[in-house]
Amino acid sequence: MVQSDLVDKAGDIREGEELDLDKLKQYLHGVLGEVANAIAIKQFPGGFSNLTYLLISGDEKWVLRRPPFGSKVKSAHDMSREYTILSALEGCFPYGPVPIHFCQDHSVLGCDFYLMTYIEGLIIRRQYPENLNLSPEQINRQLNNFFDVLSDLHAVDLDQAGLRDFGKPAGYVKRQVDGWCRRWADAATPDTVNCDNTIQWLVDHMPPESGKSSVIHNDYKMDNVIFSAEDPLQVIGVLDWELSTVGDPLMDLGCTLGYWVETGDPDFFRQYRTMPSDVAGAPTRVEIIERFKERSRLSVDHFPFYFCFGLFRLAVIGQQIYYRYYKGLTKDKRFAAMITKTHILQQMCELIMSGKIEH
């Protein structure tokens, strides 16, 4: 039986992120039938990018995804991309929500959006729920399972999924470095931290391609994963596929470990962690890399580069979010603090470049 107190809850819709319920009901009547007439909307907490809403009608529930209001980064909020990859992974990767309907009629919500199945479970954000009570041994098993699911994604057969042409794996590492450096410049504000040294270091230390092309999530972190409320050690869902593509799995690992704060990290970095990866029992980055190497049979000799890239990419995303607030494109007060997070991530990049943090 599901422990209802652990299930992730949707709540009130944030100011400025309301949906036109009348138009949505009218449109969804043609998709869901009569149940659409009684739909109520709630919004899931967290997240700074694509917005996620819970639609409820009687005992039935669905999830609606749409781009953020006021974003200038259209390529990062491609609803059709999310819908396409979830459709392709259905049947060969058991953790993705099942897509139901894609809408590109902007007269409904003013943007593309899509509907998918609702997966009920536990989402862990900045800290573990007080009533979860996992031992260090259980946390270790849970977080190793978390990374094993990422390895499972990288093992998906591209031909079976029909995703061989979904991305451009050749030259992926260079394109990513060039692209995120360009996004940094595009999102600059007068109070932007100087990242010139980090950008140059990444260009100078680019490793060769790993030789493997995989489906990669590109934003795999704990609050994008659903754990079972019956058995919290098990992953039952993976969310937020907006940045997914086909590319180098080592870059995907680096992006995930950009979020991974551990007990030996500087206090300034631990203070701004977004998930509880620095608790007793959590595997270290070194342990994660060793497990990843064993499962993927890939060399991770250039990990400082992948880790630094993961941090820099998060700094760019933070700057893009802050840019929206700085320009008055959103009223969400959370966005104002992202400039500080960007500075913190740059400090970590500097420690990696100096050799003071290797993993």
pLDDT at 2: 44
Is the predicted pLDDT of residue 168 greater than 70, yes or no? yes
Distance CA 4, CA 317 (A): 33
Query: How do residues 41-64 score in pLDDT, each as one tens digit?
Result: 999 986 667 899 999 999 999 999
- CATH class held by domain 4-117: alpha beta
pLDDT at 98: 96
Query: What would the mean pLDDT of 100-118 be, rounded to a whole number?
Result: 96
Query: How do residues 181-238 score in pLDDT, each as one tens digit?
Result: 999 999 999 988 899 999 999 999 999 988 899 999 999 999 999 999 999 999 999 9
Mean pLDDT score of the chain, rounded to an integer? 91
Question: Which residues touch 304 (CB under 8 Å, ≥6 apart)?
Answer: 205, 352, 358, 359
Distance CA 98, CA 271 (A): 36
Please report which residue ranges of the chain form alpha helices under DSSP H: 21-32, 79-89, 106-109, 136-154, 158-161, 172-186, 196-204, 249-257, 267-270, 285-296, 303-326, 338-353
Query: What would the mean pLDDT of 266-273 be, rounded to a whole number?
Result: 93
Residue found under tokens 């944030």: 14
136-353: CATH topology: Aminoglycoside 3'-phosphotransferase; Chain: A, domain 2 (3.90.1200)
Contact 217, 156 (CB under 8 A): no
pLDDT at 301: 87
Query: What would the mean pLDDT of 157-186 be, rounded to a whole number?
Result: 94
Residues 93-110: b if buried by 16+ CB within 10 A, e if exposed:
bebbbebbbbbeeeebbe
Contact 68, 14 (CB under 8 A): no
Is the predicted pLDDT of residue 72 greater than 90, yes or no? no
Contact 83, 75 (CB under 8 A): no
pTM of the predicted model, to two decimals?
0.91
Question: Which residues touch 207 (CB under 8 Å, ≥6 apart)?
Answer: 173, 301, 302, 305
* Cβ atoms within 10 Å of 301's Cβ, excluding its own: 10
How sure is the predictor about 4, in pLDDT bands with cuts at 50, 70 and 90? low
For the chain, which residues make up each domain, given as ranges? 4-117, 136-353
pLDDT at 199: 97
How sure is the predictor about 78, in pLDDT bands with cuts at 50, 70 and 90? confident
Lowest mean pLDDT among 83-92, 163-172, 287-296, 331-340: 331-340
Mind giving me the DSSP string for 307-353?
HHHHHHHHHHHHHHHHHHHHTTS---GGGGGHHHHHHHHHHHHHHHH
pLDDT at 73: 47
Is the predicted pLDDT of residue 20 greater than 50, yes or no? yes
pLDDT at 47: 62
Is the predicted pLDDT of residue 349 greater than 60, yes or no? yes
For a pLDDT cut of 70, what percent of the chain falls above it? 95
pLDDT at 71: 56
pLDDT at 359: 67
Is the predicted pLDDT of residue 324 greater than 90, yes or no? no
